[in-house]
Structure 1
Amino acid sequence: MIILFTSLHIQELMKSFSINLSYFITTLVIVVIVALVSRKFNLETKEGPILWRVILGCIQLVILFINFISETVWGSLSLFIIFIGLEWFRHIIIKQFKDTHNKIIEYERERENLNNTFRTVRSERHDYLKHISAIHFLLESHKHEEAKFYLDQLVDSYEETNLSIKGETGVVAASLHQSYKRAKELGISVDYSLDVPISSLPMSDRDIVSLVGNLLSNGIDACEHWQIEKGKQALITLDFYKRSGLYILTCENDSVTIPAKILDRLYIDYGVTTKGETHEGLGTKIIKDIVKKYDGFLDFVHKDEKFLVKIKIPLIK
């Protein structure tokens, strides 16, 4: 529709200047221009409120009709400018709608993660006395080896939750816990080494969740791919500590070889991904934008089938 309407407007504008161009040439030029502009500004055209799209489409159709009956150069030029302005306004509306829709989905996911983490902690607390009673019975029965084995299993299950929630705010703890569970379900080894709570970052909880969530999600996806290709257990580590007025967050994971053309644009452009065509490639750019928002520094290294991301955030809020 954009290409068709723009071509017709251009044709009418050229006629006002007594210039005759074939529809084929006009359409070809418009296709190239629309493709370049869409790529440059990441234009949204396929989503958004149906009512807004219908209303704006009808207005643009009316403007096109007026342009057909307009007999002045300035009239055609003004109508064409109005058409372009409406199209840009449509892009803004659709982009805001998509951003809002994505935020709602993210909030729903965070809420579900928080509820799941709360249920896990509540369940562990509910069963705590039962576990103590079981261990007490085994010790009284002089079954020390069985008691030790039972206690080792209990410590492992509690460690999973404790690594995620100690000192963290609810939403951050939930995000860490769900990432830990997802990695474990895929058979990936996970190591959280957090000298200070990640919640102490001078950021909003939402930005912390987006930052850490995308780091871990990308790392887990890379580990899963690596495991399938290598047939061995992958490892992902998340370190967080404070040094010389900086918070330093690092995430390292096993990774298959990444082409240089993707590495060069990985944290720069949207749509750059190593996960195939079904992924939008938004995570890395979101990470970069959050780091930039808080005047931080991001660096990454891919070497010997290891991918390391290091982020430094100033201590001062």
Structure 2
Amino acid sequence: MTTICFLLTYIFEQFVAYIYFSKKLTQKVSNKQLLSSYIISFAIQFAVNFTNIPYLNLLSFLICNFLIAYICYYSSIKQVIFNVLLLESLMIVTELIIIYSATLLFKIDLKNYSTNPYIFTLETIGTKTLYFVFAYISSRISFKEKKNAIDKDYSYLLFFLPLTSVVLIMSLVYVSINLDLDQIANILFMIISFLLLIINIVVFLVHERIISTLTKNTELQLEKQKEEINQEYYIELERQYDVSNILVHDIKRCLLNIRELSNSKDYNEIIKYVDSIYQGYEIKSLKQYSNNKLVNVIVSRYAQLCYENNIEFCADIRNIDFSFISDSDLTSLLDNLLENSYEASRNSQDKLINLNIDIKNESYVRIDMSNSCDKNPIKMNRHFETSKKDKKSHGFGLKIINKIIKKYNGNFEYSYDIDSHIFNISIILKIQKFLISV
């Protein structure tokens, strides 16, 4: 009977974990793969249970749920650790609440929970039911964590609460089993267990609210940046349209002048005249860098800025399908990269920028950018040093770049050549292949 009870218990715990993670995280594997993962997790925990070592059971619960959350769902390591520790805290606390409540109400000796199969079965039903209720409520009233949501360094501090709760609860269990406690002590232990449960949930919800607020603020910043780029796009279109109209209006007169110079065989004057048209009508700026609207306007904007500031600008953007990356992320990434390169090259002696974007192995997009930079921008701690007056905005731009690279499972490398005074950065973005669950 006890074995059957353990069997059903571990099956139910997998069900609770599935409900919780499905509400909190976004699935990234197929339903068949997810089911297989939970079956393997159940088999491991059920097998470990036969060792009759409670602490080993808790460890297997932590490891199995951590692997499922990290492999089968989109989530950072910090998010996974926090949620798994919270689940374990809920499971232990609810079990203690039921045990101490039953001890007080029905005068059951704590030792009977492990020796009496009937009492053990009833206690298990009660604890797992309460565990499911609190886990479900926690998943419902909290926010669903988005893929690659904002991850703050101070989130690690939150791990201490559920971890401390587990240690404290295990201490209470040890005291309860090895010492004869009176009714008041049992009441106090039950109250402590319940308060620990409430504290964990409250801190969990506060953390969720903070992360949600930070995420919304970042999204607003990105949306604002996208709107500004769209506005610049239409301004650039209007400017190029005006330039084209002027050129079309004057083309007849220009051709007549070239014809007269040709008749007089004054070829040097013809060359000078054509060059003046080329420079005067900004034909140079009317260039299509990419078939992507937003990419083209960003590159065109900085190409024009470089032209006006005598900066040599070269861009080679192959015919790339950018559909795997959102417009806001794409424009934010390129705009911040080009802005940093432009600021550095404008204040340098050689004044040059090179941008190359290409497909690698049909699975990655590679962005290579190099620019002149008289001063090494890399600090000793591998952080960037800016020459901008607005250092706060510069820091935000670098954070956006880093966030987007992480979001698309990418990586980046950078270096500075002291001899040539050239700063290089290479970014690899993985082309996302969305998996349809079956």
User: Which category describes the TM-score, using the shorter chain as reference length?
Assistant: 0.5 to 0.7
3-state SS in 2 of match to 1:203: coil
Structure 2 residue identity aligned to 1:234: K
Q: Does 1:172 align with 2:172?
A: no
How many residues align? The count is 239
Q: Does 1:312 align with 2:398?
A: no
C-alpha displacement at 1:302, in angstroms? 1.3
Q: Does 1:247 align with 2:365?
A: yes
* Contact 2:370–2:423 under 8 Å retained in 1: yes
Q: 2:342 aligns with which of 202, 214, 220?
A: 220
C-alpha displacement at 1:237, in angstroms? 0.8
Query: Which protein shows a greater Rg?
Result: 2
Name the structure 1 match of 2:10: none
Task: Pick closer, same or farther for the CA change 1:191–1:295 going to 2, 3 Å.
Answer: same
Q: d(CA) in 2 for partners of 1:120 and 1:98?
A: 33
Task: Pick closer, same or farther for the CA change 1:136–1:274 going to 2, 3 Å.
Answer: closer
* Contact 2:320–2:359 under 8 Å retained in 1: no
Name the structure 2 match of 1:303: 417
Q: Does 1:188 align with 2:188?
A: no
* Contact 1:223–1:236 under 8 Å retained in 2: yes
Q: d(CA) in 1 for partners of 2:405 and 2:196?
A: 43
* Contact 1:251–1:308 under 8 Å retained in 2: yes
Name the structure 2 match of 1:94: 213
Name the structure 1 match of 2:400: 286
* Contact 2:233–2:294 under 8 Å retained in 1: yes
User: Looking at both structures, which has the greater relative contact order when contacts are Cα pairs under 8 Å and sequence separation is at least 6?
Assistant: 2
Structure 2 residue identity aligned to 1:187: N
Task: Pick closer, same or farther for the CA change 1:259–1:135 going to 2, 3 Å.
Answer: same
Q: d(CA) in 1 for partners of 2:309 and 2:230?
A: 23
Q: d(CA) in 2 for partners of 1:127 and 1:184?
A: 20
Q: d(CA) in 2 for partners of 1:93 and 1:39?
A: 15
C-alpha displacement at 1:169, in angstroms? 2.0
Q: d(CA) in 1 for partners of 2:324 and 2:270?
A: 44
What whole-Å deviation, never above 9, does each CA across 1:116-160 have from its counterpart, x for those lacking one?
A: 221133123322323422321212322654443342244452232
Task: Pick closer, same or farther for the CA change 1:186–1:168 going to 2, 3 Å.
Answer: same
Task: Pick closer, same or farther for the CA change 1:207–1:93 going to 2, 3 Å.
Answer: closer
C-alpha displacement at 1:201, in angstroms? 6.9
Name the structure 2 match of 1:158: 283
3-state SS in 1 of match to 2:380: helix
Q: d(CA) in 1 for partners of 2:404 and 2:259?
A: 56
Structure 2 residue identity aligned to 1:203: I
Unpaired runs of 5+ residues, structure 1, are 1-36, 43-71, 267-271
3-state SS in 1 of match to 2:395: coil
Give the TM-score, by structure 1 length. Answer: 0.61
* Contact 2:303–2:313 under 8 Å retained in 1: yes
Task: Pick closer, same or farther for the CA change 1:144–1:316 going to 2, 3 Å.
Answer: farther
Unpaired runs of 5+ residues, structure 2, are 1-150, 157-190, 434-438
* Contact 1:220–1:236 under 8 Å retained in 2: yes
Calculate percent identity across the aligned residue pairs: 18
Deviates more, 1:131-140 or 1:171-180: 131-140
* Contact 2:289–2:315 under 8 Å retained in 1: no
* Contact 1:172–1:199 under 8 Å retained in 2: no
What whole-Å deviation, never above 9, does each CA across 1:56-113 have from its counterpart, x for those lacking one?
A: xxxxxxxxxxxxxxxx989998997787567535523532442243133212211212
3-state SS in 2 of match to 1:238: strand
Deviates more, 1:81-90 or 1:171-180: 81-90
Name the structure 1 match of 2:237: 118
